[in-house]
Structure 1
Amino acid sequence: MTTAKPEIKLVETEDEVTLSIGGEQAMQAWERDLMWASADLLCQHGSRFYEVGLGLGMSALRIANNPATERHTVLELFPEVIDLFRERHPEPPPTLHVEQGDFFEKVSELPTESIDGMFFDPALDMEVWRNEEIWHRVMPEVVRALRPGGVFIPFFSTKPELRWQYVPHFRTVRVERHTYEAYEHTEYTYGRSGYAFIQCFHKD
């Protein structure tokens, strides 16, 4: 869901790797361990997974390479992000399927109870995150697509609070606490280091 086509580039220095979308830090390589922890948690709940937002592909590859995974589909809005990923990973695992599209349009097309888990990490404008109407419309579709016992895992938070966008749609939430250390100039965390929280929402 976007109104303008942003500039997308991969910024690499000797010590830092940043995916920049529209001049904003969409993802950085220091997130790897948190992405892997999220992916490993997801893979405890089945074999068929769905991911929203490709980013640097860290979680996508981790999920696709898990021995339990039969199929992992990743939906990415920006074709430039897909191109960057394919340049860096010309031979992805056969379980990984990357598609281009807008999640807010595609989510209603997901078959009912068709996936064991969804990892959710798209690059969205702040007005989308704050729009209650959007989340009240979209999250029931996410729950519908999950099988009973399936999970929804959004990207980690460095603030110890449950995300209001998802809480009304799940009765059970598991939270894991991890440590993190971001880059000196990371702009999207609450502090350069500390605790990060992975929230795992369960469909009963």
Structure 2
Amino acid sequence: MESQTKPAIELIDNDGEVTLSIGGEQAMQAWERELMWASADMLCEYGRDFYEVGLGLGLSALRIAENPATRSHAVLELFDEVEELFRDRHPHLPGNLTVERGDFFQRVFALPSESIDGMFFDPALDMEVWKDEALWARTMPEVVRALRPGGVFIPFFSTRPELRWQYVRHFRTVRVERHRYTAYDTTEYTHGTSGDAYIQCFRKD
């Protein structure tokens, strides 16, 4: 799904308000830390070997890798610059953490069957990708295939109390936790700058 023109990627620190910008859009902000940690901690309840799509600021990646239960954690990132920014900020990484380069919508087909206990999913995607029903119909069965029985798929939090259609039809069991959040006044990708956020955990039966 990589576009022909590579987007501009930068890390912006505006008086302590940290934003990862991709193509001029807010891809991730540092205020998300508590939600990312809660998502990571939930993931780590379900096993030892994990996979993450989208590195971002690395908040969840480090949290997962540093959990005592984690044996291996691989992160797939599309853009070199995102990894470079992350490594500049975190030069010494846990030994069980690896960062791979690639497009998830291609790489998912190569993931070994029943090879991971959980996947955390937080890539920066264009809106047309989110709306592509045929793409998700092809992709999600591959995610389920890669999960071990009892394994889980956790996408990034939602600020709407609704299950995401891209995922819900592929799982029978869903766990949802509600958390309070407060974003920056300049945050553009949440429904309001404070309120309830929902972490959705889809489990393979």
Q: Note whether the superposition's TM-score is higher than 0.5.
A: yes
Deviations 1:46-81 (A, max 9, x none): 000000000000000000000000000000000100
Structure 1 gap segments, 5+ residues each:
none
For 1:25, the equivalent position in structure 2 comes to 26
CA distance in 2, matches of 1:2, 1:28: 22
For 1:158, the equivalent position in structure 2 comes to 159
TM-score of the pair, normalised by structure 2 = 0.99
Structure 2 gap segments, 5+ residues each:
none
For 2:113, the equivalent position in structure 1 comes to 112
For 2:200, the equivalent position in structure 1 comes to 199
One-letter amino acid of the structure 2 residue matched with residue 151 of structure 1: V
One-letter amino acid of the structure 1 residue matched with residue 203 of structure 2: H
Identity of aligned residues (%): 74
One-letter amino acid of the structure 2 residue matched with residue 5 of structure 1: K
One-letter amino acid of the structure 2 residue matched with residue 49 of structure 1: F
1:131 and 2:132 are equivalent in the alignment: yes
Q: CA deviation at 1:15?
A: 2.5
For 1:146, the equivalent position in structure 2 comes to 147
CA distance in 1, matches of 2:50, 2:128: 28
Q: How does 1:1-150 map to 2 (within 5 A)?
A: 1-3=1-3, 4-150=5-151
SS class of match (1:169): coil
Deviations 1:69-124 (A, max 9, x none): 00000000001000000111111000100011100110000000000000000000
1:177 and 2:178 are equivalent in the alignment: yes
SS class of match (1:49): strand
Deviations 1:130-167 (A, max 9, x none): 00000000000000000000000000000000000001
CA distance in 2, matches of 1:146, 1:95: 19
CA distance in 1, matches of 2:197, 2:152: 19
CA distance in 2, matches of 1:90, 1:21: 22
Q: CA deviation at 1:2?
A: 2.5
CA-based RMSD of the aligned residues comes to 0.5
Larger mean Cα displacement after TM superposition, 7-16 or 29-38: 7-16
Q: CA deviation at 1:13?
A: 2.0
CA distance in 2, matches of 1:42, 1:200: 8
One-letter amino acid of the structure 1 residue matched with residue 119 of structure 2: M
TM-score of the pair, normalised by structure 1 = 0.99
CA distance in 2, matches of 1:79, 1:108: 22
